[in-house]
Amino acid sequence: MEKEYMIITNNPLIREKLGESHTIIYKDISYEDVLKEVRDRIHEGHRLLSHPLSGSVKPNETPYKSVMISKGKGEIDEGSLAIIENAIQACRKFVFKSDRYKPEVYEDFRLIDWTLLESGIASADAG
């Protein structure tokens, strides 16, 4: 069955786990750039389906982010636009520090992002 959403991510684990069964837009870009990519898609008429700042991991602590948006386009959704703009502004308030971690920590961050996304997917697929 065709999914009603797509996922924008910079997390290679998401592409690995869902690449065959979901529409994944994977880019090797920063957390903030993922948010900007989502914003650009909202300007095209897509809607946010997961919160861009979900979870308790601050944007400066993890390099990975995955966001679900509608596959279909409509009128610009002002609510989605306000949320993504606020998320981008929040992201800019933090000094990026995830480049200071040991390599094995990145695997943990990929897994945290996957877990957050997985709960959003379960919700979307159930609804």
What are the distances in angstroms from CA 120 to CA 76, 100, 115? 22, 29, 9
Instruction: Give the pTM.
Output: 0.92
**pLDDT(55) > 80:** no
| Across 24-33, 42-51, 102-111, least confident range | 102-111
Packing angle between helix 78-92 and helix 31-43, nearest 10 degrees?
A: 160
User: Which pLDDT band, with edges at 50, 70 and 90, does 98 fall under?
Assistant: low
